[in-house]
Structure 1
Amino acid sequence: MPLFGNIFNPKKTPPRKSASLSNLRFLDRSTWEVELGLDYGTPTMNLAGQSLKFENGQWITGISGGVDRREAQCLHRRNQQLEEENNLLRLKVDILLDMLSETTIESHLMEKELDELKSISQKRK
């Protein structure tokens, strides 16, 4: 009889029962994937109150930011229209300022010429 022979030799555990107590084995594959979390869905993240989804290789803003994709496209088109209109109005203002400066110069020249004519007429008298 060995001194420390069988004391440190643990007994083997009995094998587990093969039948699961869960009813997941009776579900179809799609429900099984959803239940076990194998269907990950599209990656989403929230940044500064905006929800972004990764679809078809691009990050798309979601509804949680307050604006859905169609509305964002509409707002983008409206923004471009307003920028074009703003550029046109700036051009018109620049043209009007050029016209104003031209008429102001003409007016000053006419006043100067009028003053010269007045001084010449006063000298003759």
Structure 2
Amino acid sequence: MPLFGNTFSPKKTPPRKSASLSNLHNLDRSTREVELGLDYGTPTMNLAGQSLKFENGQWIAETGISGGVDRREAQRLRRRNQQLEEENNLLRLKVDILLDMLL
């Protein structure tokens, strides 16, 4: 039993071989250019049957109908939203008044 020595000395592990997880390095140059080229096109997605594309920083419905809702329904929703915002502001004002009366 050594007094000043270290009895536990693990062996160094060998370095790992870096294996690529992608098989793209096996493809020829023209196939790689098609797969990884700079011509991506516009991003598109399909949500609940509604096809959308990304243009100028916004998602736009390809069918022309705004989000699958017709114009009258959108106006009705805007009016309802405005009514709820006004009601919310009134209720906040009432709460503030009641808190001021409490203090």
Which structure has the higher relative contact order (CA within 8 Å, separation 6+)?
2
User: Which whole-Å CA distance do the structure 1 matches of 2:95 and 2:4 have between them?
Assistant: 103
Comparing 14-23 with 25-34, which one deviates more in the overlay? Answer: 14-23
Task: Select the structure that is richer in helix.
Answer: 1
How far apart, in 1, do the equivalents of 2:33 and 2:88 lie? 54
Seq. identity, %: 93
TM-score (norm 1): 0.29
1:58: Cα distance to partner? 16
Give the drift of 1:17: 71
- Whichever of the two has the greater Rg, that structure is 1
CA displacement 1:53-110 (0-9 Å, x = unmatched): 999999999447231110000000000000000000000000010xxxxxxxxxxxxx
For structure 1, the residue ranges without an aligned partner over 5 or more in a row are: 98-125
Count of aligned residue pairs for this structure pair: 97
Taking a change above 3 Å as real, the CA distance of residues 81 and 45 of structure 1, as seen in their structure-2 partners, is same
Inter-partner Cα distance in structure 2 for 1:3 and 1:90 = 76
Where 1:72 maps in the other structure, the secondary structure is helix
Query: Pairwise CA RMSD of aligned residues?
Result: 13.5
Q: Which segments of structure 1 move beyond 4 Å, counting only runs of 4 or more?
A: 1-62
Q: Distance in 1 between matches of 2:90 and 2:11?
A: 90
- Scaled by the length of structure 2, the TM-score of the pair is 0.34
